[in-house]
């Protein structure tokens, strides 16, 4: 009778272990001022990253979130980089992984153009920083790929 009971109990535990998810995800649920990489998100180990609605990553330069492993990023909160050249909200540099964004990604600057010649319209570039990637991927960071040129190239044309 003991053998049958032990076998039944172990079978149930094995079924639970096989149907449980392999791992959770690293949740960012507070304000954070450092970047995160999926390859090291879980105390140096690769993991999915979820920025909850109460969470945020706010930087003054660089890339806020990098997918550099076969993991996913879910943003329900805020990803923001302000006043920085070459800024990227979420960079997908791995061959696989995914991004789900229902939150906010803001890459901005506090630059304000002026009317230097007093003719009623603003003069100079539209923005001070450069370059501005058209999309957040490794290809967008290469000059030979699709990019939005700095506004100064368009001034006076």
What does the pLDDT look like over 36-91, one tens digit per residue? 999 999 999 999 999 999 999 999 999 999 999 999 999 999 999 998 888 999 99
- Position 14 in a domain: no
**Which domain does 63 fall in, by range?**
24-153
Count of domains observed in the chain: 1
- Position 108 in a domain: yes
- Position 100 in a domain: yes
SS3 99: strand
pTM value?
0.65
- Position 8 in a domain: no
- Position 15 in a domain: no
Query: Among all chains, which residue has been given the structure tokens 């909850």?
Result: 52
Most trustworthy range by pLDDT among 19-28, 109-118, 139-148: 109-118
As a whole number of angstroms, the distance between CA 42 and CA 153 comes to 43
- Position 6 in a domain: no
- Position 3 in a domain: no
Going by C-alpha positions, the residue among 74, 154, 156, 149 that lies closest to residue 117 is 156
Give residue 3's pLDDT: 54
Give residue 139's pLDDT: 38
- Position 70 in a domain: yes
């Amino acid at each position: 009778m003991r053998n049958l009971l032990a076998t039944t109990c172990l079978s149930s535990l094995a079924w639970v272990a096989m149907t449980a998810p392999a791992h959770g995800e690293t949740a960012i649920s507070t304000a954070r001022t450092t970047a995160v990489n999926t390859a090291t998100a879980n105390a140096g180990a690769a993991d999915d990253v979820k920025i909850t609605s109460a969470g945020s990553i706010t930087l003054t330069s660089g890339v806020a979130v990098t997918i550099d492993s076969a993991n996913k990023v879910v943003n329900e909160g805020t990803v923001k980089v302000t006043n920085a050249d070459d800024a990227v909200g979420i960079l997908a540099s791995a061959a696989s992984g995914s991004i789900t964004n229902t939150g906010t990604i803001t890459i901005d600057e506090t630059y304000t153009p002026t009317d230097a010649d007093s003719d009623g319209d603003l003069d100079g570039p539209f923005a001070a920083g450069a370059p501005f990637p058209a999309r957040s991927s490794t290809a967008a960071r290469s000059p030979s790929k699709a990019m939005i040129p700095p506004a100064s190239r368009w001034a006076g044309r």
